[in-house]
């Protein structure tokens, strides 16, 4: 293992170790809600080919997605098949998203690289958010350090190199029921979990992702919902945070979710902005690694 101090790391279900995490957060405010989105499309990956492919999805304005509703039931995000028309969409959130996509000139596809999944929402008290944000930052830093020197990964074989390095350390599948996660399994490295990450997993396991969320003050909100967002290429992860100022209604919840979904796609943004976010993401990851090397806690590559 490249890091001398990192004995263990938890990656929550449906993530892969080579996930590139981080991007400039996108924010949106209404009188009812505050929406914070970390878009997967903004994330750096060592796989240059996949980077280029994902940029093409933005240029083409083609999307494919599913989402979990408030009850956790998985819903289709567009026409149920390639032979169906937009008129076949019946779910209110999906219909609202469809109207927004239509206004942006976007359409649907069945290509897996375009696919985005919005995981079930997990409700957190505003008082928990500072601890949650700190836990995700620690998980992000641990993930970066375990993956090794970003510059080295980018210059070599990319995704296969990182994934192979992870597998060679010996992955241990743990029961996610023990850790409070309902998705079946998680990946851990080494012989055990560090105390802080293990405790965070027990507290926030269903919502945690290795993402450095900004330090937002959620104290004036009534309720906060967090969703992980994963992509079809399994190289990127994002997150949607929706904070409600007052008691939420079904209409407010559905309106906020539909807005967040469209924000996540990034199809209304420029390629230049997305590429700038990826460079910033890479720089952050590199700075974490370089500091670890300077402190002689990681082996220089």
Domain definitions of the chain by residue range:
10-294
pLDDT, tens only, 240-249: 999 999 999 9
The predicted structure's pLDDT at residue 194: 64
**What does DSSP assign to residue 126?**
G
Backbone angles phi, psi at 198, to 5 degrees: -65, -45
Is the predicted pLDDT of residue 252 greater than 60, yes or no? yes
- Structural tokens at position 145: 């350090």
Instruction: Please answer whether residues 180 and 205 qualify as being in contact, where contact means their C-beta atoms are separated by less than 8 angstroms.
Output: yes
Predicted TM-score (pTM) of the model is 0.80
- Measured CA to CA in angstroms, residue 137 lies from 7, 130, 171, 263 at distances of 17, 11, 22, 23
The predicted structure's pLDDT at residue 154: 65
Taken in order 94, 96, 102, 105, the sign of the CA dihedral is negative
Beta bridge partners of 33: 244
Question: In whole numbers, what is the pLDDT of the chain averaged over residues?
Answer: 79
Residue 190 CA to residue 1 CA, distance in Å, equals 9
Pairing of strands 107-108, 185-189: unpaired
| Rounded (5°) CA angle 265-266-268 | 120
Residue 145 CA to residue 1 CA, distance in Å, equals 10
- Structural tokens at position 3: 């890091």
Residue in this structure with the two tokens 């945690």, named with its chain if needed: 208
The predicted structure's pLDDT at residue 183: 28
Query: Is residue 152 exposed (0-12), middle (13-18) or buried (19+ Cβ within 10 Å)?
Result: middle
The predicted structure's pLDDT at residue 174: 30
Is the predicted pLDDT of residue 157 greater than 70, yes or no? no
Beta bridge partners of 117: 66, 230
Stretch (H or E) spanning 279: helix 271-294
Stretch (H or E) spanning 102: helix 92-103
pLDDT, tens only, 62-78: 999 999 998 899 999 88
Q: SS3 of 74, please? A: strand
């Amino acid at each position: 293992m490249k890091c001398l101090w990192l004995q263990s790391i938890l990656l929550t279900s449906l993530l892969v170790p080579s996930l590139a995490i981080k991007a400039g957060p996108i924010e949106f405010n209404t009188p009812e809600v505050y929406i914070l989105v970390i878009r997967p499309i903004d994330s750096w990956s060592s796989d240059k080919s996949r980077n280029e492919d994902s940029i093409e999805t933005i240029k083409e304005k083609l999307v494919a997605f599913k989402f979990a509703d408030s009850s956790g039931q998985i819903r289709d995000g567009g026409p149920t098949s390639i032979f169906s028309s937009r008129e076949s969409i019946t779910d209110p959130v999906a219909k609202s998203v469809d109207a927004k996509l239509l206004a942006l000139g976007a359409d649907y596809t069945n290509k897996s690289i375009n696919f985005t999944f919005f995981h079930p929402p997990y409700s957190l008290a505003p008082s928990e958010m500072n601890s949650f944000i700190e836990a995700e930052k620690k998980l992000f830093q641990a993930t970066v350090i375990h993956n090794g020197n970003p510059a080295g990964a980018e210059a070599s074989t990319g995704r296969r190199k990182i994934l192979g390095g992870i597998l060679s350390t010996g992955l241990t599948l743990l029961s996610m029921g023990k850790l409070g996660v309902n998705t079946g399994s998680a990946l851990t490295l080494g012989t055990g979990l560090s105390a802080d990450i293990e405790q965070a997993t027990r507290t926030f396991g269903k919502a945690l992702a290795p993402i450095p969320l900004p330090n937002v003050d959620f104290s004036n909100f009534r309720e906060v919902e967090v969703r992980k967002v994963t992509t079809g290429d399994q190289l990127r992860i994002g997150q949607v945070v929706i904070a409600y100022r007052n008691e939420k209604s079904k209409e407010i919840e559905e309106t906020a979710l539909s807005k967040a979904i469209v924000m996540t796609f990034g199809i209304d943004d420029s390629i230049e902005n997305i590429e700038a976010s990826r460079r910033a993401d890479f720089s952050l990851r590199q700075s974490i690694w370089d500091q670890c090397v300077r402190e002689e806690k990681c082996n220089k590559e």
